[in-house]
C-alpha cells in the first residue's frame, strides 16, 4: 500500500516544537473554521481538543511542503475537512489532522498517546505504514501495508473513513505527482480503495475516486466520454425536466408525496459499461437516472405501483433491494419504464434514510452522538457491510504470502452481485460470474471441501456452472472427499473460495509429506531395532527445533530433516549404519533379487502399483526404461516427489545403496478386467535399408504395443541404433514383441533397456 500521503514532503521532517510552520496558503481552512464546521453538526464538540490537534500537527509538519508547493499541513487539514462533511466525531477529526505525524515527522506513538489519549493514538497508528519492510517486491510491500490497515479497520472502522478521505484528497491533487507514480497510485485506487468505499456503501466517494483514477489512467478516454455526456445533457435538458415534472405530477395525483430528481451517470461508469457490453455511446439508454425519495417503505411500493401502471415496464429491469438488501446495506427499488417521449427511464425508489445510506454508507451512522457506544460496536449491531468486512479480513489474514493476500483482497472487493438461495431459503450473495464452487464455500468451508456435485433449481449441473439471480442451489457432498481438487482454484471466482482451496491443498500436501516422513522414520527405526513412539518424539521436539510431531514428519518427508537426526534426538547413543557401496550385485538390490519369486497377486509387499487403489504418495516409473508387471520391482522414496518404481535389475539402483531408508518393497496390483499399459524401453540395432524402420514399427503395432518415442543414432553406414519407448501390458507382452523383432531379417540385435 502506498503512503497515507502519496505527495511526499520535499523538505526535511521536523520535530514538533522547533520547526517553523509554513505559511498557510490563501483559501486554506483556518483553525476557527474547522471548529465551527464541527460545531455545526455536533454542538458538544471538544473545542480545546480540536485546537490542540490543529496546532500540534501544524508545528509537527513545520516547513514541509507538498509536491504542489503548498504547505504540507494543508493535506491533513483538507482530510479533516472531508470528514467534517461526513459529520464524524471529534476523535476522527483529530486523528485526521495527526494521521501523517508518526510516519513523516519526529512525533511518536507514545507522544500522541500522552497528548491526545490512547484512542486517538491507536487511530493514527492504524494509518501509519510499516517501515523498513524486508520484502523483495513492491507488491509484497503494498500487500503487507494493506494487511496492517485492514486489521486496524477491523478494530476501529474510523481508520477506514480517515484512509478513504486521505486517498480522496491525494487523488484530487494527483496532477502534481510525477507521471510514473501518478499511474501507479491511480491503479491502486481503482483496484482497492474505490471498491472498498463501495463495499462500505459510500457510493459518492467511490464514484469520485473512480472518476479521478480514470482521468489519470486514460485521460483521452475520460475527456471523450465527458464531452459526449456534456453534449447529451445540453441536448436533453428540457426532456430531463419534463420527465421529472411528469413523474412528480403522477405521484402527487395518486397521493404520493415524493422528491424526484434526475442524475446522470459518471464518466467511469459509462466507460466500464461500454467496455463490458461492447457497445457504443449512442447505444446506451440509461445514461440518466431518476431518484424518487419518499418518507416510508410503504410509500416506496405505492410509488412503484403508480409508475408501473402509468408507463410500460422494460422486462428484466426490475430489482428489489429493499426486501433483499445488498451486503453493503444498500436498499432501493430499481425499475426501468418507457416514459415520456418514448424514452427509457431508469428509476431508483427509496426512503430518505435509504438515500442517505446509499450516498454515505457506514458514515451515515451518527458516530458523534452520545450513548451510541464505540463506532465499531455500533456498526457490529447495525451494519451488514461492516460485518462482511470483518469476516473478509479474518479470512484474508490466513493467506500464505503477501501477493496471495493482495490478490484475494482485490477479488473480494468488487461488488456486482447475484443472490442465490440454499434449499432452506438462506440467502447467499456472490459476485457476478460466481459458480457453485463459490456458493459452496460461501455456505461453509467444509461444504466446499467435500462438494462432489450440485443441483441448480432441482436439476443436476456441473460444479463450475455460473449462477444467476434467484437460483436455488443444493450442494451434494461426500465424506470420502476431505480435500478439493487443486484445479478448483482456477475455477473459483471469490477470494474466499480460492483461499480455502489453497489452504486445503497445502494441508493435503503437508499431510502427504508427513505420511512419507513417518514411513521413512519407522523403516529406519525398524532396521536399527530401536523402539519408536510418538510420546518419545514429543520429548525431543525442542532438540529438533520443531513444535509438533506432524511438523517433524513433514520436514523429513520434504527432505529438510534426516530420519537419522530424528533418531539421534530421541536416542543420543544412536549410531547411523552406513551400507558400503559394493555395487549392485553385492548390495541391497542383490539381496532383494535373491528373495523368493512370487506371483503379483500373492505379494505381501507394502505399496500397490498399477491398480485402481489410491496410494498415499505419488507414484511414477523409472525415467529410463520404466517397469512392467512381471518384473520384480522396488520403490525408491524421494522426499517432496513421491515413489519411483524401478525393476530390480536397474543399474540406477546402485545410486541409492547408501540410503536404505529410502527403499520400499512394492507389489503389482493389476485388475485383469481393465488392462493397463506400462512403460518399457528397448534398443534395436537395425539394418540400414529402405523400409526397415517401418518393419520394426509394424511388428510392434501388430502385437498391440504402443510407441511413445523413437530416437535414432547412426552407429555405422550399415546399422542404425533405435531406442524405442513403448507401452506394453506386462513382461510376457514385452517378451513376445522382442521375440518377433529378433525374427526379422532387418534386425541385428534387440535388448531391453533398464535405467
Catalytic sites, residue numbers: 103-104
Run of H or E including 510: helix 495-528
Radius of gyration of the chain (CA): 36
Decide if 449 contacts 484 (C-beta within 8 A): yes
- Grid cell locating 596: 523368493
What span, in angstroms and rounded, lies between the C-alpha atoms of 498 and 486?
A: 10
CA distances from 183 to 123, 179, 352, 440, 590 (A): 28, 6, 38, 38, 68
Longest Cα pair distance anywhere in the chain, in angstroms?
109
Residue 534: which of 518, 555, 554, 523 has the closest Cα? 518
The per-residue DSSP string of 472-497 comes to BEEEEE-TT--S--TTHHHH--SHHH
Residue 700: name the closest of 653, 747, 654, 662 by CA.
Answer: 747
How far apart are the C-alpha atoms of 513 and 396, rounded to whole Å?
A: 26
Which of 165, 100, 154 lies closest to 127, judged by CA? Answer: 100
The three-state secondary structure class of 80 is: helix
Q: Please give the DSSP secondary-structure letter assigned to residue 395.
A: H
Strands 607-609 and 663-668: parallel
C-alpha cell at 75: 493535506
Helix (H) or strand (E) holding 205: helix 203-217
Alpha helix locations (H) across 89-202?
90-98, 101-104, 109-116, 118-126, 138-155, 158-172, 179-188, 194-199
Q: What are the two backbone dihedrals, phi and then psi, of residue 720, each rounded to the nearest 5 degrees?
A: -120, 135
Q: Find residue 231's DSSP bridge partners.
A: none
What's the rounded Cα separation, in Å, for the pair 212 and 215? 5
Q: What is the DSSP letter of 130?
A: P
**Nearest alpha carbon to residue 407 among 197, 619, 191:** 191
Dist. CA 742–CA 684, nearest whole Å: 9
Amino acid at each position: 500500500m502506498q503512503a497515507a500521503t502519496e505527495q511526499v514532503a520535499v523538505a526535511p521532517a521536523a520535530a514538533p516544537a522547533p520547526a517553523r510552520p509554513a505559511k498557510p496558503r490563501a483559501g486554506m481552512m483556518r483553525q476557527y473554521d474547522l471548529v465551527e464546521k464541527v460545531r455545526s453538526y455536533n454542538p458538544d464538540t471538544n473545542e480545546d481538543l480540536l485546537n490542540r490537534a490543529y496546532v500540534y500537527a501544524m508545528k509537527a509538519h513545520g516547513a514541509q511542503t507538498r509536491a504542489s508547493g503548498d504547505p504540507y499541513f494543508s493535506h491533513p487539514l483538507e482530510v479533516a475537512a472531508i470528514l467534517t462533511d461526513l459529520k464524524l466525531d471529534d476523535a476522527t477529526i483529530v486523528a485526521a489532522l495527526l494521521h501523517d505525524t508518526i510516519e513523516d515527522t519526529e512525533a511518536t506513538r507514545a507522544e500522541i498517546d500522552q497528548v491526545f489519549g490512547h484512542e486517538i493514538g491507536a487511530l493514527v497508528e492504524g494509518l501509519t505504514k510499516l517501515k523498513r519492510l524486508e520484502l523483495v517486491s513492491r507488491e509484497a510491500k503494498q500487500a503487507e501495508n494493506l494487511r496492517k490497515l485492514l486489521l486496524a479497520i477491523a478494530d476501529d472502522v474510523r481508520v477506514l473513513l480517515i484512509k478513504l478521505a486521505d486517498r480522496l484528497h491525494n487523488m484530487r491533487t494527483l496532477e502534481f505527482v510525477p507521471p510514473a507514480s501518478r499511474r501507479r497510485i491511480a491503479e491502486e485506487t481503482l483496484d482497492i480503495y474505490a471498491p472498498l468505499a463501495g463495499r462500505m456503501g459510500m457510493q459518492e466517494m467511490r464514484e469520485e475516486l473512480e472518476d479521478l483514477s480514470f482521468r489519470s489512467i486514460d485521460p483521452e478516454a475520460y475527456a471523450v466520454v465527458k464531452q459526449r455526456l456534456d453534449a447529451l445533457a445540453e441536448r436533453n435538458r428540457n426532456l430531463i425536466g419534463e420527465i421529472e415534472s411528469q413523474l412528480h405530477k403522477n405521484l402527487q395525483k395518486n397521493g404520493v408525496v415524493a422528491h424526484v430528481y434526475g442524475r446522470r451517470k459518471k464518466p467511469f461508469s459509462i466507460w466500464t459499461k461500454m467496455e463490458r457490453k461492447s457497445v457504443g455511446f449512442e447505444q446506451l439508454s440509461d445514461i440518466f437516472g431518476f431518484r424518487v425519495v419518499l418518507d416510508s417503505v410503504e410509500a416506496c411500493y405505492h410509488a412503484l405501483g403508480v409508475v408501473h401502471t402509468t408507463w410500460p415496464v422494460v422486462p428484466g429491469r426490475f430489482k428489489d433491494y429493499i426486501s433483499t438488501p445488498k451486503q453493503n446495506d444498500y436498499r432501493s427499488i430499481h425499475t426501468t419504464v418507457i416514459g415520456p417521449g418514448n424514452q427509457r427511464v431508469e428509476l431508483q425508489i427509496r426512503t430518505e434514510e435509504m438515500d442517505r445510506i446509499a450516498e454515505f454508507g457506514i458514515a451515515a451512522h451518527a458516530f458523534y452522538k452520545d450513548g451510541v457506544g464505540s463506532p465499531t460496536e455500533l456498526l457490529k449491531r447495525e451494519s451488514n457491510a461492516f460485518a462482511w468486512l470483518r469476516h473478509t479480513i479474518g479470512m484474508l489474514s490466513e493467506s500464505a504470502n503477501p501477493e496471495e493476500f493482495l490478490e484475494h483482497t482485490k477479488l473480494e472487493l468488487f461488488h456486482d452481485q447475484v443472490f442465490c438461495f440454499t434449499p432452506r431459503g438462506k440467502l447467499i450473495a456472490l459476485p457476478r460470474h460466481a459458480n457453485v464452487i463459490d456458493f459452496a464455500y460461501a455456505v461453509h468451508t467444509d461444504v466446499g471441501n467435500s462438494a462432489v456435485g450440485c443441483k441448480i433449481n432441482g436439476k443436476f449441473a456441473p460444479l463450475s456452472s455460473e449462477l444467476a439471480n434467484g437460483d436455488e442451489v443444493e450442494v451434494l457432498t461426500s465424506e470420502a472427499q476431505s480435500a478439493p481438487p487443486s484445479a478448483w482454484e482456477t475455477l473459483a471466482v471469490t477470494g474466499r473460495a480460492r483461499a480455502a482451496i489453497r489452504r486445503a491443498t497445502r494441508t493435503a500436501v503437508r499431510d502427504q509429506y508427513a505420511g512419507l516422513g513417518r514411513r521413512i522414520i519407522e523403516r529406519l527405526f525398524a532396521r536399527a531395532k530401536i523402539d519408536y513412539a510418538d510420546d518419545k518424539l514429543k520429548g525431543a521436539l525442542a532438540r529438533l527445533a520443531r513444535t509438533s510431531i506432524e511438523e517433524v514428519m513433514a520436514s523429513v518427508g520434504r527432505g529438510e530433516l534426516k530420519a537419522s537426526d530424528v533418531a539421534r534426538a530421541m536416542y543420543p547413543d544412536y549410531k547411523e549404519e552406513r551400507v558400503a557401496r559394493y555395487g549392485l550385485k553385492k548390495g541391497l538390490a542383490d539381496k532383494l533379487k535373491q528373495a523368493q519369486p512370487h506371483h503379483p497377486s500373492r505379494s505381501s509387499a507394502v505399496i500397490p502399483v498399477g491398480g485402481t487403489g489410491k496410494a498415499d504418495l505419488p507414484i511414477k516409473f523409472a525415467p529410463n526404461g520404466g517397469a512392467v508387471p512381471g518384473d520384480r520391482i522396488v520403490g525408491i522414496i524421494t522426499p517432496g516427489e513421491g515413489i519411483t518404481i524401478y525393476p530390480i535389475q536397474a543399474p540406477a539402483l546402485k545410486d541409492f545403496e547408501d540410503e536404505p531408508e529410502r527403499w520400499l518393497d512394492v507389489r503389482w496390483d493389476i485388475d485383469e478386467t481393465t488392462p493397463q499399459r506400462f512403460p518399457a524401453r528397448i534398443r534395436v540395432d537395425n539394418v540400414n535399408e529402405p523400409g526397415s524402420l517401418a518393419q520394426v514399427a509394424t511388428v510392434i503395432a501388430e502385437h498391440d504395443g504402443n510407441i511413445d518415442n523413437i530416437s535414432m543414432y547412426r552407429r555405422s553406414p550399415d546399422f542404425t541404433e533405435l531406442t524405442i519407448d513403448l507401452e506394453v501390458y506386462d513382461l510376457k507382452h514385452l517378451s513376445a514383441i522382442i521375440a518377433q523383432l529378433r525374427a526379422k531379417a532387418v534386425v541385428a540385435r534387440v535388448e531391453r533397456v533398464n535405467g
